Structure 1
Amino acid sequence: MAAVAELALEVPVIELKPKPEDESITTTFVFHNKGTKPVKVLDIESACSCLSASLDKAVYAPGEMGTGKAEFKVSSFVGRHEKTVHVRTDDPAQAEWVIPFVLEVPEVIRIEPKTLQWWLGDETSPKTTRVTMTGSGPMKIKAITSTRENVEFSWKEIEPGRVYEVTLRPKSTGEVMLGALRIETDSTIPKYQRQMAFFSVYRKPESQQP
């Protein structure tokens, strides 16, 4: 039987769990060459620019343990995300070793629905989105501004520091429009001090037209 290399993690998947305030998170992971011949790492690429990884050396002997380091840039990610890093080797039997990552980014602010939508020619009836502060501590909305003048909006506190309702109505639905509400909060974490909700007036798809 021909000798082969086999790089493999010690765990099924590498989990990253940043805190709400983290801009990035790094982790180390362990793997082995479980094959019967040395393997040389030729290149490492990530399927996402938000995730990068490196290994401690280029060549691993049979049975040798290696360590890697990964960094995830949290940015505006929220919730569960599956990402991969691809390691290219000199062994045709394992030309590409895929390292799986699961990212669990805690939610701090939830806006549902994220976009309020009207069709061209619709009645200018008001619609409501709910802003829920889902983090460990309460947050208040300080101000809301619109990127468009062709709308009227207001908001009210449903549960102090936790739940708000924002109501918006276009003054006209006669033209296509896309805009946003800038929501300012009193969060102590800079990236949560400004959130966005969106609104639009679109032409109804032909399949939905009478």
Structure 2
Amino acid sequence: MNKVYLFIVLILTAFLNSGNAQEVSEMKFSDTSHYFGVFSRNQGVKTHTFKFENVGTEPILITRVKATCGCTATEWTRSPVLPGKTGEVKVQFNPKKFSGYFSKKVSVYTNQSAKAVDLYISGRIQVNNKISDEFDYFIGDLKADKEYVDFGVVEVGSKPLTKEIRLINIMRDTVWLKMGNSPKQLAVEQSRTEIAPGGNCKLTFHFDPTTANEWGSLDTLIKLTIRRSVKTEVRKLPIKLTVIDRFSGMDKKQLSSAPAISFPMADKVLLEAERPGQWKSVKLELTNTGASELLIRKLELESENIQIKKYDEVVAPGKSGKIVLAYRQPGEEELVDEQLIVWSNSPENYRLNIPIRIKREYKN
């Protein structure tokens, strides 16, 4: 009876030791899948190195590595990897004969188990598209070929302009794109709202200067809502546009009967503020020295320290018009320089720049 009992104990011990050995002899990869993203064929072979650590108590020897197709080449650590040490499996993918989405499996076999460890590579190949050269900017999870849409300086009456921005989805899942309201001076087209992985979308903007009824800087931001299955984000796409009227179509007779804007004050308006944060008002006068009505089309002022309260939109020949401003001295700064831009129908000076300096006034 004792001999039978001892035999059973020995069998159980051997079995348990064998199980423990399998459990502690472990190949631990830092990652088992890699996504190359979206790329073109002409970017050549893609390479990723999978690194692993032997977290067990026995040496690990990679006996063979098997890829699912000839498009994938492999290299790996040939010598035994001791406990606590690291090794690697390098995988190379040749996109020459592929297009669209791909996914490949690489199986790693070792001396520790008959079961392989599977590694995966994937990506999307864009044919005849130089993504790395053309799509340099990010708008949320989309890549773009431009950071903003720039119409530049456009003259009233010139030919209609069209600008485009192209977007590409480099994510693994579908992206839905929704554009907010565009300014009334722009006509906007969107090629698609649903962008599949690797797919693209084109935003087209049209501006017709022959119908322009606003002047000066018309810069704006268009809201883009970018939605994926895992998140939704909002981005702003800048649109840069300045409209001017040089009155280039006017002849000498028309020019002689045109209005003329004049600002008789000094080259720079000097304002004095007594205390930080205290608002004061000031009146500026513009004179029409021309032969017909002067139309003040627009005032531009980007300042936290000056506000435009009111102004005369029409000034008769030989008369003066007023611009009322409110201003303050911010913080403890000694001097603050700002600029007021007056857009008018004066051919000789359709864009009048008025520099303004706010100076802190000291009182005992």
TM (normalized to structure 2)? 0.28
| Structure with higher strand content | 1
TM (normalized to structure 1)? 0.46
| Structure with higher helix content | 2
User: Larger C-alpha radius of gyration, 1 or 2?
Assistant: 2
